[in-house]
Homo-oligomer: A and B are copies of this chain.
């Protein structure tokens, strides 16, 4: 149950908003923002400030949106969706900056959710994305609403000029006072990005010595006691670094990581500010948000596929793994069981509608076949009980130990039924115990125990359910067929009626239901990777075949 709670908590998806331009090629702008939101598990909405015709080689055209329509888009969202964080990107001109700030202020007053302002001015390819007179409006109207602003080197230089502190940023040491100056514009924090400034570890050490109050967060660099990695990796500490400076009211933090040479950097700034909004929207502090967001873009750059002929986009999807088993829903509450049955439909049918089952339903099954089956099933159930004991031994909680043990008791009771049948037909318990084991029995029983040796508890459970569910299916099928007018199934005077009643009865079906729920819950709590799901599926299929073989054996040894 506690695993379910964890899974549910993780599925909470904060709603976030981007107010930015559109990049037709999909690597930057609201496209990058929406991809980031999705990959980081947030619900994304967007206000478009301008359309661009652009690709990885440059910006071919810009079509701004009228400010009043920017306002209308924003108002539609604010009126309807409870946002946990907002980011702004390319705002194009002063009137759009103004209407954005004004609308946010009018709606939220002082209680605005975390706002990340990426002061986009010029594209990587050199295209002007914010008209120069808009800078003043951005600083005076938007920055005071911001939780965080995220200028790069050239944006910071432009903003510093505007603040009356013109400065060229050539080193990390230049960045430190610049970040403090930018904080005075009224935002809560400044993340001054160092992507365009090459730094080295000696610079970090010097800063650390001069400013012991500055916190250093290292990412992608080897920490202490990692000599084993040092010798098999290139040592990045002697190489070029990228350093971002986070300036909060009363603290400065440097984020230090190795510089990666790559052509896949289109949309890095957009993506970073989106990832920051996601993290702040989840309630993370500035340091943790910056750490997780910079790791996200760093990995996005390094895992990018080449797209386009110029500076391609980073890979937004690297944190995503595709689910092998869909989530249960009201209309499909048992998706795993359906997939398992569908994956070997013919074999499953050959098992549950086996000739043995049909003759048993008709009451025409030769007594010798049934007795042979009962004796072998008696031997099989000894493996089965031991397998549940192994499952108990593989369990990590008292509740799972208890559940496995309860099944052992059920199996032992089931065996009592077998003894009763035998007694009824004059077979003593000693005779039952002395029955030589058929290869089909050994194959099935030993396969289950071997699966339990090889894999974890989930795989053992997969090996155990084909028997549990299959006998439940057989019982219900015979019961349903018997209910038809002029049915081929004869319950009256059927010597095997008790067997049919037992497996279609309430007690056994209750156990079937518990088994169904257990495997579905297992796939929800611990979603299997494709490789692992393949193991589950092939274990299930093997057992369905072994069940079929078990009845073949029972018929064949007439």
In the complex, which residue of chain B has the Cβ closest to the Cβ of A16?
Answer: B26
Q: How far is the CA of A34 from the CA of B72 in the complex (A)?
A: 22
Q: How far is the CA of A309 from the CA of B476 in the complex (A)?
A: 45
Does residue A527 face the partner (Cβ distance < 8 Å to B)? yes
| Chain B CB within 8 A of A507 CB | no
Residues in B whose Cβ lies below 8 Å from that of A44: 26, 31, 35
Report whether A307 and B43 are in contact in the complex, using a CB–CB cutoff of 8 Å. yes
Of the stretches A169-177, A403-411, A450-458, the one at the interface is A450-458
- Report the stretch among A77-85, A414-422, A436-444 that lies at the interface: A77-85
Candidates B53, B72, B228, B516; contact of A472 at CB < 8 Å: B228
Partner of A229, one of B48, B57, B337: B337
Which interface class (under 10, 10 to 19, 20 to 34, 35 or more) fits A?
35 or more
- The proximity string for A residues 186-200 relative to B, scoring 1 for CB distances below 8 Å and 0 otherwise, is 000000000000000
Shortest CB-to-CB span from A83 to chain B, Å, is 11
Interface 1/0 per residue, A43-61 and B, CB below 8 Å: 1111110011111110011
Q: Is A372 an interface residue (CB 8 A)?
A: no
Q: Evaluate contact between A229 and B321: CB separation under 8 angstroms.
A: no
Residue pair B228, A469 in contact (C-beta under 8 Å): yes
> In chain B, what residue has the closest Cβ to A469?
B228
Q: Which secondary structure dominates chain A's binding surface?
A: mixed
Contact indicator A473/B225 (Cβ below 8 Å) = yes
* Complex interface residues of chain A between 503 and 532 (CB less than 8 A to chain B): 509, 512-513, 516, 525-532
Contact indicator B34/A530 (Cβ below 8 Å): no
Given A46-B24, A526-B532, also A327-B331 (CB < 8 A): no
Give the residue of B13, B30, B349 whose beta carbon is less than 8 angstroms from that of A317: B13
Set B69, B80, B227, B329: member contacting A310, Cβ < 8 A:
B80
Q: How many copies does the complex hold?
A: 2
A26→B53 contact, CB < 8 A: no
A356 CB, nearest partner CB in chain B, Å: 15
Contacts of A353 on B, CB cut-off 8 Å?
A: 225
Partner of A323, one of B13, B228, B321: B321
Which of A208-216, A281-289, A340-348, A362-370 participates in binding chain B? A340-348
In the complex, chain A residues 327-341 whose Cβ is within 8 Å of any chain B Cβ: 327, 329-334, 337-338, 341
Are B477 and A227 in touch, CB under 8 angstroms? Answer: yes
Contact yes or no, B394 A453, CB < 8 A? yes
B-side contacts of A532, CB under 8 Å: 526
Is there an interface contact between B345 and A223, defined as CB atoms closer than 8 Å?
yes
Q: In whole angstroms, what is the CA distance A3 to B341 when docked? A: 25
Q: Do residues B334 and A233 form an inter-chain contact, with CB atoms below 8 A?
A: yes
Chain B residues in 8 Å Cβ range of A525: 531
Chain B: CB-nearest residue to A308: B80
Partner of A25, one of B81, B317, B455: B81
Mark the stretch among A93-101, A119-127, A133-141, A298-306 that contacts chain B: A298-306
State the Cβ distance, A458 to closest chain B Cβ, in Å: 8
A26–B10 CB distance below 8 A:
no
Give CA–CA (A472, B334) in the complex, Å. Answer: 48
Q: A302 touching B322 by the CB < 8 A rule? A: no
Given known contacts A24-B76, A76-B53, A320 and B322 CB-to-CB distance under 8 angstroms = yes
Of B38, B43, B302, the residue contacting A305 (CB under 8 A) is: B43
How many whole Å from A285's CB to the nearest CB in chain B? 19
Question: Looking at the complex, which one of B309, B323, B395 makes contact with A320 (CB distance below 8 Å)?
Answer: B323
A260 CB within 8 Å of chain B: yes
**In the complex, A459 has a CB within 8 A of chain B:** yes
Are A57 and B80 in contact (CB-based, < 8 A)? yes
A-B contact pairs, 27 of them (CB 8 A): A10-B530, A15-B307, A25-B77, A26-B43, A26-B45, A30-B31, A31-B44, A31-B45, A39-B320, A53-B75, A55-B77, A55-B81, A80-B308, A220-B331, A225-B352, A228-B472, A228-B509, A229-B516, A232-B516, A260-B331, A299-B332, A302-B331, A303-B327, A318-B326, A319-B326, A321-B323, A393-B454
> Interface on A for B, CB 8 Å cutoff?
3, 6, 10, 13, 15, 22, 24-26, 30-31, 34-35, 38-39, 41, 43-48, 51-57, 60-61, 63, 65-66, 69, 72-77, 79-81, 220, 222-233, 236, 258, 260, 295, 298-299, 302-303, 305, 307-310, 313, 316-323, 326-327, 329-334, 337-338, 341-342, 345, 348-349, 352-353, 393-396, 453-457, 459, 469, 472-473, 476-477, 480, 509, 512-513, 516, 525-532
* 5 further interface pairs, Cβ-Cβ under 8 Å (given A53-B73, A302-B329, A526-B532): A31-B45, A38-B39, A319-B322, A321-B322, A525-B531
